[in-house]
Each structure stands twice: as structure tokens, then as C-alpha cells.
Amino acid sequence: MPTPEMGLHFLSNSRKQGFVKPIEIILFDLGGVLVELTGVPTMLAWTCNEYSEEELWEAWLRSPAIRSFETGQSTTEQFAADLIREMKLPVGATEFINTFTMWPRGLFPGVASLLQRLQKDYTLACFSNSNELHWPRLMVEMGLQQLFEHHFASHLIGRLKPDKSAFEYVLQHLGSDASSVLFLDDNELNVNGARKAGMRAARVKGPLQIEQVLRDHGIPAGYQ
């Protein structure tokens, strides 16, 4: 779990690596960072706790079924059938789809007000490994569409974190130097991918950890 010391480590590394540009863009992951997810306990139960939580996320990011669905290459029905078979899940397709659709529970408390305050001084963007079931809920139902100037969804851009090509695509469309972008994600693989692309990056979960990392990167302490 991120700590203030880790945030200071990120800032120190930024200075050592020669970052001189101020942060201009804050790029957010959604699930686990701004949005509470319920999927991990469900998947751990379905797989009879075969994985730790960290192992589950690594398996998820590498799964052929998930990569296909979250890059827009397969339908919901194909995804359900493929993942059930791939991970030997003890559920049918209909139950899986209905449950999976509701995995994003809602925004963490304080997220909307935090983003609204940041909007005044920074360009905000989101970059999510997402899909045709979750994206409408995130953007419309939870109101995130209006809180970001730029929106990048893996199933719409055909690229997936933590792939290098995904971060390069985002940087190209943001039109900004990588070192002026601060990327916040709850998965270490994605954080490392962003760093390899030249971004400043930190692993966070929820507004309190976001605010700590922002302060550690020199963003005014009024964001709390």
C-alpha cells in the first residue's frame, strides 16, 4: 500500500532523472483509484482462492480473454465464454455477465470534489483498461465524463495497459511531454509501464492516497 515515504521516493526519483517540467496533466486510472471495485473478492471466491490478490491482477492483465475483450476485439458473449473456460469459473455465462457488469460499485467518497478542484489548475485525463459493459457506467452513470478533458478507454483505442504502445498512444494524443504527466494507478505493472514511457507515476487507491502523492509532487496542499 502506498505510503508518504513512497511518494517522496517518487519525487526524489523524478528529480534524479532530470524532470524539470512542472506537472501539467494528471492522468488517472479509474477502477481501484477513483472507483470502488467489487470484482476481486468475487473472482477469488470463483477461483477457490487459487491466487493472491496481486497474483489475480497479474493473471487478469495477461489473460488472452480479457486482453481481447478490453481491446475491443471480442463481444461480451465471447469474453464470458472464453474467461469461464480459461479460468475454470464455476458459473454460467449469464451469471458471469450480470455480476461482472456491476463490479464498478461507484466513486470513492470525495472523488468528484477532488477532481473539480484539480480541474482549475491542471488538465485531467483518464486512462482505463475498460470494456463495453463498464465504460458507460463509469462515464454516464457515475458522471466521470464531465470531470476529464481527455478520456482513453482501452476497448476504444485498441491498446491496453501496461503495454508500451498504450502509453505512447495516450502521450501522442495528449500532445504533452511525458515528464509533465503524473499517472496514478492501483496496479504496479501499470505504474511501471508509465514510468518506462517517461511519465511520473505512483501507485494509489482512493482520494486520501491520491492527495498524499499530489502533495509529494509539489501540488498545493489545499487538495484535501
| pLDDT tens readout for residues 148-190 | 999 999 999 999 999 999 999 999 999 999 999 999 999 999 9
Question: How confident is the model over 6-15, as pLDDT tens digits?
Answer: 444 444 444 4
Alpha helices in 17-75 (DSSP H): 39-46, 53-62, 64-69
* pLDDT, position 54: 87
What is the model's pTM?
0.87
88 vs 224, residue with greater confidence: 88
DSSP state of 161: T
Beta bridge partners of 182: 26, 200
| Grid-cell match 468475487, residue found | 42
Single-letter amino acid, residue 16? K
Specify the pairing of strand 181-185 against strand 25-28.
parallel
Average pLDDT over residues 132-142: 98
The answer, yes or no, to whether the previous bond of 22 is cis (omega within 30 of 0) is no
Backbone φ and ψ for 35, nearest 5 degrees, come out as: -120, 130
- What would the pLDDT profile of 58-113 be if each residue is shown by its tens digit? 888 889 999 999 999 999 999 999 999 999 999 999 999 999 999 999 999 999 99
**% residues pLDDT > 70 (the chain):** 89
Write a three-state SS string for 102-133. CCEEEECCCHHHHHHHHCCCCEEEEEECCCCC
What are the structural domains, with CATH classification, of the chain? 4-36+105-216 (3.40.50.1000), 39-101 (1.10.150)
